[in-house]
Amino acid sequence: MAKLKVGYPAALPAELLKLFPAGIDLIPIPTVPETEITVDFWIPPPAPIPGQKVWPWLRGVSVAQSMMAGTEWLTTLVGPEVTVCNAQGAHNISTAEWTVSAVLAMLKYFPLYRDLQLAADWRGRSQASKDYAAIHDDHQPQYPAVLQEELHGKRVLIVGYGDIGKTIEQLLTPFGVEITRLARTARTSPDGKVIHAIADLDRLLPEAEIVILILPLTPESQGLIGPTQFAAMRQGTLLVNAARGPIVQTDALVEALRSGHIRAALDVTDPEPLPSDHPLWKCPNLFLTPHVAGSTPQFSPRAVQIAADQVGRILAGEPLIYVVQSGTSPAAPSS
């Protein structure tokens, strides 16, 4: 029996290769291959463009094990013959922490205070009160001045209740928020939590003060948030997108931000990367990061451990887990 050939990004730290079981051939795949490379099990780079550059050089791939939870670009790239698995759990914590941090940053007006710090002048802090009045359409006199908001007591709608959504809920719960959950289908969790169907989105949007998007990009979710959904949101709603950019219709988002109807914190955009002349850069009430929510020192070890466990299952003749596409090619090498 031929050894299982496992291809991995050559840039991975060497110590992570020790996580793989014995009895396989570990084959480093350079960022720019110069010749064809035959592997049975491929661990693509954790980003579409590098993966797209490598794929034409690969031969024999039967399993593509993503390092990420999202696999929409990977299934499109490799086609239906290849089994595709995601890295469920690899960046639950990092993405959930980014989400909670982004919520707090917006409610505490950190972008404004960062700008004032760079200007070495705190006199502009009165802008916080003006921003609060504008975004909430609340022009009643405040004494003392409103210089930040509280997360406690806010109504949060989590759109996408998979592993990351559940982790976000765990981190938000101590803040005393009221959480509503949406998933593809309605159900009640084993611990009694009510999970609404995504079909209820428009009905539930007006009740939320914070809307968190953490669902996969699928044909059904693409463009899910558009003019109708923005119109349904209450004045001052905070939209947080830690999922995929195309879930939100960008033109409608720009209009909702410019009108002052909502505010947003985005780790993802459509298009991505965002061109330097794109109107999103200059939209008010917006906090942007460049798709970094999953990028921590703990990410690669978790993702590689998942891949190593999958290799172990193949060697043991056990079924793969986290399968998002069942291909037609055999998962083990032929003799």
**Shared domain check, 65 and 55:** yes
Structural domain contains residue 335: no
291 is catalytic: yes
**Shared domain check, 60 and 202:** no
Q: Which of 244, 261, 263, 302 is catalytic?
A: 244
150 is catalytic: no
pTM exceeds 0.85, yes or no? yes
**Shared domain check, 302 and 260:** no
User: Comparing C-alpha atoms, which of 94, 68, 100, 93 is closest to residue 265?
Assistant: 100
Q: What is the CATH number of the domain that holds 75?
A: 3.40.50.720
Are 147 and 125 in contact by the 8 Å Cβ rule? The answer is yes
Q: Look up residue 16 and give its two tokens.
A: 């992570």
Structural domain contains residue 333: no
Q: Which SS3 state, helix, strand or coil, does residue 302 take?
A: helix
Q: Which of 181, 263, 291, 302 is catalytic?
A: 291
**Exposed / middle / buried, residue 297 (Cβ in 10 Å: 0-12, 13-18, 19+):** exposed
**Shared domain check, 233 and 98:** yes
pLDDT in 10s for each residue of the chain, 335 residues: 689 999 999 999 999 999 999 999 999 999 999 999 999 999 999 989 999 999 999 999 999 999 998 898 999 999 999 999 999 999 999 999 999 999 999 999 999 999 999 999 999 999 999 999 999 999 998 889 999 999 999 999 999 999 999 999 999 999 999 999 999 999 999 999 999 999 999 999 999 999 999 999 999 999 999 999 999 999 999 999 999 999 999 999 999 999 999 999 999 999 999 999 999 999 999 999 999 999 999 999 999 999 999 999 999 999 999 999 998 877 666 54
Q: Which of 184, 258, 272, 278 is catalytic?
A: 272
**Shared domain check, 96 and 245:** yes
Query: In this structure, what DSSP letter does residue 294 have?
Result: T
272 is catalytic: yes
**Shared domain check, 208 and 247:** yes
User: Comparing C-alpha atoms, which of 166, 163, 128, 164 is closest to residue 145?
Assistant: 128
Quote the longest CA-to-CA distance of the chain.
Answer: 79
Structural domain contains residue 330: no
Q: Look up residue 153 and give its two tokens.
A: 């007591």
Residue 12 is part of which domain span? 4-90+297-325
Number of structural domains found in the chain: 3
**Shared domain check, 166 and 101:** yes
